[in-house]
Amino acid sequence: MNYEFVYKEGFLIIKLSGTAGVNERLLVKQHLAPHLQRSHQKVIVDLEGLNEPGGVYIVGVLNTIRKEFQFLDGEVKLCSLNPGLYHYFKENRLDQIFDIGQSVEQIKPSFKETTDDG
């Protein structure tokens, strides 16, 4: 699986592509490590390039990403799920754990406003 990290307009956008392997949830921390040093409150995981038919392995990856950024008081949302993956999330009630949007631009306004009060 491939990871691309883009910083844009106060958001960290993580673009995932390819297919998640069996041990991918263990490998994701290596990719996240350099990006956990910075303070990112708003993280969008863009799944447009993902070639994931089932969803079993990608859920572990997404849950790891969510937990790592939530630990730093960040907020993580998903977008651009293919129809099969979206159905898998709905069927397994994962849409109650993850906020899901249609696109990066569509999900941006749903983030909480952050203040610099400390």
Residue 113 above 80 pLDDT?
Answer: no
Domains of the chain: 2-109 (3.30.750.24)
> Rounded to whole angstroms, how far apart are CA atoms 73 and 59?
21
The reported pTM is 0.91
Question: What Cα–Cα distance (Å) separates residue 70 from each residue in 42, 44, 63, 75, 110?
Answer: 10, 13, 10, 6, 16
Report the pLDDT averaged over residues 15-35.
Answer: 90
What phi and psi values does residue 54 have, to the nearest 5 degrees? -100, -60
Confidence at 22, pLDDT banded by 50, 70, 90: confident
Section 54-64 average pLDDT: 88
